[in-house]
Amino acid sequence: MSEDRKVPALPAVPKPRARTNRKLLIFLFIFFAILLVILFFQSSLSRVSAIEVQGNELMTSEAIGQASQIAVGDRFFAVSSATIQQRIASMPMVKSAEVKKHFPGIIRIAVEEFPKVAFQIAADGKKQAVLADGAVVQLAAGSSIPLDMPILTGWTDGDPNKAALCKVLGEIPESALSDISEIKPDPSESYPDKIKLYTRSQFEVYTTIAYLPEKIDNLPAYIASLQEDHITSGVIKMLEVEYHAPFDPNEEPKGDKDASATQKSGNSNSSPSPDSSKDGGKPTPKPTPKPTAKPTPKETVKPS
């Protein structure tokens, strides 16, 4: 047998003990991980510890919390933020909502309400806020919210004109409504959406819901021009033609009084306004109204 011939080396056989130890470590890791998860979900760290509501002025935090269907002590991961947000956004008074979770246990809810556009007094005497979407929110007793917006009177629930008025008021800047104290419905045959506005400067203003966005911008300057002529009260009609007349104690509360109102020129034989129907006939269709220039004070009829 030659000395150069070598015996081939046998492959190393893995030790059974090393393989057994690795399996044991994996098993122990999984066991303790499951144990930690169980302990976590049994501890207070997995529960809702606080619900913070921001942005609400008219609605109470309790009402928003009830709408979210979550409470302190509930499981933190049981409901997603998107689900809670969808529940709150479905409330009629809520324009939008945003929900964020902050570990451990804090849920922050930020809501944006529809803006309040007016107030009204319920049959039981309680004050209510009217929102731009027509929803009504009961004000809590002793609420510190000032009644700094028009008060709606004479309106019925479900009136489509009321809903249209609320939508229009939501699009008008608050500064333009600062002199308006009360708004009442005053429909006529020619103007089904006609309304009567009472101002804090002692004027009655007749216009329509459709004309209101266009006419309300001219109202402060119009009243200022009358006051410069020492006219401190009267009736202002802002329909297709704008004019002022003194208060008439014999004026009928209903009907198309626009037709017989005195024009600013003071001429009793002046032609009536476009909604005139003295002969009982139906009024002729009116073209789309165009903005009219505000008359100068010298054209105004001063009250006697």
Angle at 220 between CA 217 and CA 222, to 5 degrees: 95
Rounded distance, CA 157 to CA 51, Å? 35
Q: 88, 146 in Cβ contact below 8 A?
A: no
Tell me the CATH number for domain 45-113: 3.10.20.310
Predicted local confidence at residue 181, as pLDDT:
94
Q: How far apart are CA 172 and CA 167, in angstroms?
A: 9
pTM over 0.85? The answer is: no
The percentage of the chain sitting over the pLDDT mark of 90, rounded to a whole number, equals 37
Of 41-45, 186-190, 283-287, which gets the smallest average pLDDT? 283-287
Fold of 116-267+283-299: Rossmann fold (3.40.50)
What separation, in Å, do the N-terminal and C-terminal C-alpha atoms of the chain show? 148
123: exposed, middle or buried (C-beta count within 10 Å: 0-12, 13-18, 19+)? exposed
Taking the CA atoms of residue 168, residue 174, residue 180 and residue 183 in that order, the dihedral angle to the nearest 10 degrees is 30
Mean pLDDT (the chain, rounded): 78
Supply 5's token pair. 């011939």
* 255 φψ region: left (φ > 0), alpha (ψ -120 to 50), beta (else): left
pLDDT in tens, 122-179: 888 888 999 998 888 888 777 777 888 999 999 998 899 999 999 999 999 888 899 9
- The residue extents of the domains of the chain are 45-113, 116-267+283-299
What gap in Å lies between CA 130 and CA 108, rounded to an integer?
27
Tens digit of each residue's pLDDT (9 = 90 or more) over 211-224: 999 999 889 999 99
Dump pLDDT digits (tens) for 231-271: 999 999 998 766 677 776 555 544 444 433 333 333 333 33
User: What is residue 186's DSSP assignment?
Assistant: -
> Does the pLDDT of residue 80 top 50, yes or no?
yes
pLDDT for 6 equals 65
